[in-house]
Amino acid sequence: MVRASPIDRRLALLAAAALTLAACSNTAPPPPAAAPDALEGALDIVAWPGYIERGASDKNYDWVSQFEKDTGCKVNVKTAGTSDEMVSLMTQGGYDLVTASGDAALRLVRGGTVQTVDVAKVAGYDTVDARLKEAAWHFIDGKHYGVPYQWGPNVLMYNTKVFKKAPTSWSVVFEGGKFPDGKPAKGRVQAYDGPIYIADAAIYLMAHKPALGIKDPYELNETQYAAALDLLRKQHPLVQRYWHDANVQVQDFTNEGVVVSGSWPFQVNTLVANKQPIASTIPSEGATGWADTTMMHATAKHPNCAYKWLSWSITPKVQGDVASWFGSLPTVPAACTNNALLGAEGCKTNGIDQFDKLHFWRTPEATCKSEGTCVPYSRWSTDYVAVMGGR
User: What's the mean pLDDT in 51-73?
Assistant: 97
Task: State the pTM of this model.
Answer: 0.84
> How high is the pLDDT of residue 25?
47
Q: 11 pLDDT exceeds 60?
A: no
Residues 6+ apart with CB under 8 A from 312: 63, 67, 318
pLDDT in tens, 212-267: 999 999 999 999 999 999 999 999 999 999 999 899 999 999 999 999 999 998 89
Give dist(CA 172, CA 364) in Å, integer.
26
Task: Average the pLDDT over 156-162 and give the result.
Answer: 98
* CA separation for the pair 49, 81 (Å, rounded): 7
Please report the sign of the dihedral spanned by the C-alpha atoms of residue 198, residue 199, residue 204, residue 205. positive
What is the CA angle 206-370-154, rounded to 5? Answer: 45
Q: Residue 4 pLDDT more than 70?
A: no
pLDDT for 223 equals 98
Residues 105-134: tens digit of each pLDDT: 999 999 999 999 999 999 999 999 999 999
Q: What pLDDT is stored for residue 37 in this prediction?
A: 83
Domains and CATH numbers, the chain: 42-152+290-355 (3.40.190.10), 155-263+363-388 (3.40.190.10)
What pLDDT score was predicted for residue 2? 38
